[in-house]
Chain A
Amino acid sequence: MMSTPKTLLGTAAVIALMALLPFAGVGGYVLGLMTSALYFGVFAMGWDLLFGFAGEVNFGPSFLIGVGAYTAGLLNHYAHWPIIACVPVGALAAVVAGLLLAVPALRLSGPYFGLVTLVAVLLLQNVIVIFAGFTGGEIGLDLPDVLAISSRVNYWYALGVAGIVALGLFALSRSAVGLILQASGQDAIEAAALGFNVVRHKLAAFCISALVSGLAGAMLVFYLGTVSTDSVVDISIGVQVIIAAVLGGRRTILGGAVGAIFLIVAGELLRPVGQLSTFIVSAFALLVILFFPGGLLGRFIVREGA
């Protein structure tokens, strides 16, 4: 059990240690794995802010990720904008798309909100496929630019983004705003009775979630060098994000990153069993939520005010 300042310090220390990994003889391949895992970690942390705190089940994290990724990718492919311009515009586009989705959707609750976010993903995927001539469709688009070829540099980029997001979101979740969010997630009526604007807080959470998801989505495609539906939009991407967040521990923010790293590393260790790796990872995640519903980090991070 750790308090907020200690957790923040501990996290910063872990990030600093992780930044040294390339000097500790860790090979390019492992760094490559960690790079994808860190971007997935950002998705999972963004999702946890919305779900763990605001209490909204977003079945469509890949809608936000996809909008950010495709906006950045298309700008780079057609307009040849440099990466430094494409990434923030992609992140902003995700916020705009998130607002368009959330403003009406937040009036709904529970499964209805979940379904609308799911439908958003399906619609986005359909739009991309229907306008295949422009978007590359299921084929995907290749991007002229990549962040870097060196796996070290790519890793540091990902670690930087994930680190800032982790510290920022964690601090936010422990601030007054986070507590209000948590209150509105658990009992919206009571929170409203206490004078908090529940919808406005949830909307803010959605925007922040969209911002980090879109940002990481855009970075991810410049790491991969391609943007395709199966890498950033497909429902299965959203499912992986949800599994990572639940596995790592709800309402912990940092758990999302731990869960994502765990998922990707486990998938890799299980490579010899080939096709069955997805089965084993899912089975493990199921066991965790059945027997340790708090997730991997649930025991270590104290839920203040809960």
Chain B
Amino acid sequence: MKALQILIDGFAISSLYATGAIGFTLIFGVSGVLNLSHGSIMVTAAVVAWLVAGSFGAGPYGGALIGVGASVIVSLVTYGIVVRPIQKSRAIAREEKEIFVLTGTLLWGIMVQEVIAYVFTNNPKTVLPLIGGVVNILGVRTPRTEIAIAAIAWLAMGLLWLLVNRTRGGKALMAAAINPRGLTLCGFELGSIHLLVWTIYGVLAGIAGVLLGSFLGVSSDNAGQLTASAFSIVVLGGLGSVTGSLVAAYVVGYLESLTAYLVNPSIRTVPVLLLLVIVVYLRPQGLLGRR
């Protein structure tokens, strides 16, 4: 009974983590960028969806769509006004770009977070769930929305897989992750690859944000925690490895759920942090990393 409950809850949470983290790792793979405004982008999606669905009466689906749209816009703006200028800057030495991107996206994330807190307060918002009600799965009372969340997350990841493996743009994207220079030689415009990857990232982060908002509720104060959690999952899985992030998301999701149910909800993140330290020391390339 409790085991099944952990299985179901852990699955929903893990799917959410995976959706958020995969976009994060994709950007790292293609352009070597760790985007520390990740959490703020997720929060933006959730708050916009909450606003549009509730106050403007667009309903849960309209709200979710516009929320994801907002996330894509913020993600492209992040690339356009923070990441790209740093990458292009001549004043910043090449080996220092990484730290400048980290600091730049961190500052940008704080700016987005502060605007949300200013306009909508830092009280958590709950996005209207796509479907209401609960179903009984072998004695475990499960909200329908929890099932919908897992389904949507997997649908999004499935579409991403198709895009990457079955389309020209997607293949180019993967190639860029492996060898950006070779790709330019083949006549691909790296700039448009970057736009593509930031758009995909925006969609995935937006979906994760909206779903999280409808499942648990999201506050602007969560932005830092969300970034840290995506960062941890991605390192655990191996930087740049999509499959690794997927596996790591489930490891983290279930480890947290087990801790929360069987030990104490107050320390749910502690075992994950310890695992992370151990993995980083013993196998710095992560569970499935290439490096």
A/B touching: CB–CB < 8 A: yes
Residues of A within 8 A of B (CB): 51, 57, 104, 107-108, 110-112, 114-116, 118-119, 122-123, 126, 129-130, 186, 235-236, 239, 242-243, 246, 250, 275-276, 278-279, 282-283, 285-286, 289-290, 292-294
CA distance A119 to B233 in the complex (A): 12
| Contact (Cβ within 8 A) B280 A293 | no
Query: Inside 8 A of A126's CB, which chain B residues have their CB?
Result: 267, 269-270, 273
| Contact (Cβ within 8 A) B103 A289 | yes
Which of A57, A123, A286 is most buried by chain B, counting CB atoms within 10 A of its CB? A286
CA distance A236 to B114 in the complex (A): 13
CA distance A259 to B108 in the complex (A): 18
What are 13 inter-chain pairs, A to B, with CB distance below 8 A? A57-B99, A108-B280, A111-B34, A115-B280, A119-B232, A126-B270, A126-B273, A242-B103, A242-B106, A276-B118, A290-B89, A292-B91, A293-B100
Q: Which of A123, A243, A276, A293 contacts B107 (CB 8 A)?
A: A243
Number of residues on chain B facing chain A (CB within 8 A): 41
| Contact (Cβ within 8 A) A110 B98 | yes
**A245, closest chain B residue (CB):** B103
User: Counting CB contacts under 8 A, is B7 at the interface?
Assistant: no
User: Counting CB contacts under 8 A, is B231 at the interface?
Assistant: yes
Interface of A is mostly: helix
The total of Cβ contacts below 8 Å across the A-B interface reads 99
Query: Inside 8 A of A110's CB, which chain B residues have their CB?
Result: 98
A186 with B95, Cβ < 8 A, contacts A282-B114, A286-B82, A286-B111 known = yes
Q: Which of B110, B267, B269, B280 contacts A278 (CB 8 A)?
A: B110
A279 with B107, Cβ < 8 A, contacts A57-B99, A111-B239, A286-B82 known = no
Query: Inside 8 A of B111's CB, which chain A residues have their CB?
Result: 279, 282-283, 286
| Contact (Cβ within 8 A) B231 A115 | yes
User: Counting CB contacts under 8 A, is B216 at the interface?
Assistant: no
A246 with B235, Cβ < 8 A, contacts A115-B280, A116-B277, A122-B228 known = no
User: Counting CB contacts under 8 A, is B135 at the interface?
Assistant: no
User: Counting CB contacts under 8 A, is B56 at the interface?
Assistant: no
CA distance A173 to B274 in the complex (A): 34
| Contact (Cβ within 8 A) B118 A118 | no
CA distance A122 to B232 in the complex (A): 12
User: Counting CB contacts under 8 A, is B247 at the interface?
Assistant: no
CA distance A248 to B233 in the complex (A): 33
**A294, closest chain B residue (CB):** B91
A116 with B269, Cβ < 8 A, contacts A111-B34, A293-B89, A293-B92 known = no
Closest chain-B Cβ to A305's Cβ sits at a distance in Å of 15
User: Counting CB contacts under 8 A, is B115 at the interface?
Assistant: yes
- Chain B positions 221 through 255: 1 when the CB is less than 8 Å from some CB of chain A, otherwise 0: 00010001001100100010000000000000000
Query: Inside 8 A of B266's CB, which chain A residues have their CB?
Result: 129-130
Which positions 51-92 of chain B face chain A at CB distance < 8 Å?
A: 82, 85-86, 89, 91-92
| Contact (Cβ within 8 A) A130 B104 | no
CA distance A292 to B85 in the complex (A): 12
**B92, closest chain A residue (CB):** A293
| Contact (Cβ within 8 A) A112 B114 | no
User: Counting CB contacts under 8 A, is B260 at the interface?
Assistant: no
CA distance A51 to B100 in the complex (A): 12
A290 with B86, Cβ < 8 A, contacts A278-B114, A279-B118 known = yes
Q: Which of A104, A115, A279, A286 contacts B114 (CB 8 A)?
A: A279
User: Counting CB contacts under 8 A, is B147 at the interface?
Assistant: no
Query: Inside 8 A of A276's CB, which chain B residues have their CB?
Result: 114, 118
User: Counting CB contacts under 8 A, is B102 at the interface?
Assistant: yes
CA distance A235 to B210 in the complex (A): 25
CA distance A119 to B267 in the complex (A): 14
Closest chain-B Cβ to A144's Cβ sits at a distance in Å of 29
Q: Which of A107, A115, A290 contacts B235 (CB 8 A)?
A: A115
Closest chain-A Cβ to B207's Cβ sits at a distance in Å of 25
**A274, closest chain B residue (CB):** B118
A112 with B89, Cβ < 8 A, contacts A123-B270, A186-B95, A239-B110 known = no
A123 with B110, Cβ < 8 A, contacts A104-B281, A286-B82 known = no
| Contact (Cβ within 8 A) B106 A239 | yes
